[in-house]
Amino acid sequence: MSFKLSEIAQKIGIDCRSDIEINSLSTLKDANSKSLSFFHKESYLNDLKETKAVAVILKEEFVKYLPNGVIALITDEPYKKMALATKLFAYKPTAKTYKAEIGENTEVCDSVKFGKGVKIGKNCVIMSNSFLGDNVEVADGTIIYPNVTIYHDSKIGSNCIIHSGVVIGSDGFGFASKDSTNVKFYQIGNVVIGDNVEIGANTTIDRATLGSTLIKSNAKLDNLIQVGHNCEIGEYSIIVSQVGLSGSTKLGVGVVMGGQSATAGHLEIGDRAMLAARSGVTKSLEGGKIYGGFPAVDIKIWRKTQAAIARLIKRK
């Protein structure tokens, strides 16, 4: 899919005459010479200064930080304008189904439905009534239980186990809502899952807004977990049931999150950190430590705090 920059600009209501070709919408960091990007948060200022995008949607006051030669699309509402642009690149849902390319020794129930261009490796089992959308790829030895849905463009590694009711690649939750019109930011990224990953029943993993949501090899996810768009879950991480990861949470290697714990978005949790059940993480946390409480703090502090709270009613 590609458009002239001027066409996109016209659709989103910004004045721009350049006929340069745009074939992707990207973050500032991932952009290339055919990407349109946007700048809406000062925390991305370094990315702005180094972007390889051909054009950037941004407020006038930040134009001075653009690298030489990058075209500025100026607006007071860069997030909303980018949201409008995503509509042009958005997936068009269809009910058509196709045959998949299926490896040796793989079993597929005849009730399974495929989008266009699906590739399944060897020695896989795809059970009843599951659906794999356009361009989904599944590597060797992966088991998909019944009633699983894998949206278009998702990539699943080898020897994974995907339990029933799992939804991979549904839209992340993105709305440009400043003016209360809830303009949808179409989710044009995907989900990439490594090898030996297990995903529990009815867990949902949202596709990235732009780029990829990543579940790295050997991570194990329990049931009814929400993984927001653009999250990254490190190798060997263990996520217990009903955990909620807000968008763009990054977990390091071997992180353990107890049941019903959760994170606010756009933060990082270091390697081998452990979160007690029901912890609520509100800022980035160093690795190698155990945390608890909401907001999550060193678990020793949380335990002392709980003891102090319990003592409150004895003092009176």
Q: Which sequence positions are flagged as catalytic?
A: 229
On whether the CB atoms of residues 47 and 27 are closer than 8 A, the answer is: yes
Q: Label residue 15 left, alpha or beta by phi (over 0 means left) and psi (-120 to 50 means alpha).
A: beta
Q: Which of 177, 178, 286, 288 binds a copy of itself (CB under 8 A)?
A: 177
Beta-carbon-side half-sphere exposure of residue 207 (alpha carbons within 13 Å): 24
> Could you give the strand order of the β-sheet that contains 198-199, starting from the edge strand earlier in sequence?
107-108, 125-126, 143-144, 161-162, 198-199, 220-221, 238-239, 256-257, 274-275, 290-292, 297-298
**Residue 133 in contact with residue 169, Cβ under 8 Å?**
yes
Q: Which stretch binds a copy of itself (CB under 8 A): 5-13, 25-33, 55-63, 111-119?
A: 111-119
Interacting positions 16-75 with a copy of itself (CB under 8 A): none
- For the bound state, the minimum distance from the C-beta of residue 89 to a copy of itself, rounded and expressed in Å, comes to 17
Window of 6-14, 28-36, 71-79, 200-208 that interacts with a copy of itself by CB under 8 A: 200-208
> E strand or H helix at 126, and its extent?
strand 125-126
CB nearer to a copy of itself: give 1 or 313.
Answer: 313
Two structure tokens written together for 160: 């994974």
Length of the chain: 316
CB of 20 to a copy of itself, least distance (A): 32
Residue closer to a copy of itself by CB (options 10, 241) is: 241
Residue 151 makes contact with a copy of itself by CB under 8 A: yes
User: Cβ 163 to a copy of itself, closest distance in Å?
Assistant: 4
CB 5 within 8 A of CB 19: yes
Which listed range, 48-56, 76-84, 181-189, 208-216, lies at the site for a copy of itself (CB under 8 A)?
A: 181-189
The yes or no reply on residue 206 touching a copy of itself (CB under 8 A) is: yes
Instruction: Give the one residue of 10, 123, 135, 204 binding a copy of itself; rule: CB under 8 A.
Output: 204
Among 88, 161, 267, 290, binds a copy of itself (CB under 8 A): 161
Strand partners, 156: 138, 193
Minimum distance, C-beta of residue 47 to a copy of itself, in the bound complex (Å): 26
* Rounded Cα gap, residues 238 and 221, in angstroms: 6
Residue identified by tokens 């001027």 is: 6
Residues 227-266 that bind a copy of itself (CB under 8 A): 228, 236, 238, 240-242, 244, 246, 254, 259-260, 262, 264
CB 198, min distance to a copy of itself, A? 7
The correct pick among 23, 32, 46, 111 for binding a copy of itself (CB under 8 A) is: 111
Q: Does 90 bind a copy of itself (CB under 8 A)?
A: no
> Is there binding between residue 105 and a copy of itself (CB under 8 A)?
no
CB atoms within 10 A of CB 91: 17
Residue 113 makes contact with a copy of itself by CB under 8 A: yes
262-263 and 280-281 beta bridge pairing: parallel
Residues 273-312 that bind a copy of itself (CB under 8 A): 277-278, 280, 294-295, 301, 304-306, 308-310, 312
Quickly count: other Cβ atoms within 10 Å of residue 296's Cβ. Answer: 24
The answer to whether the CB of 223 falls within 8 A of the CB of 205 is: no
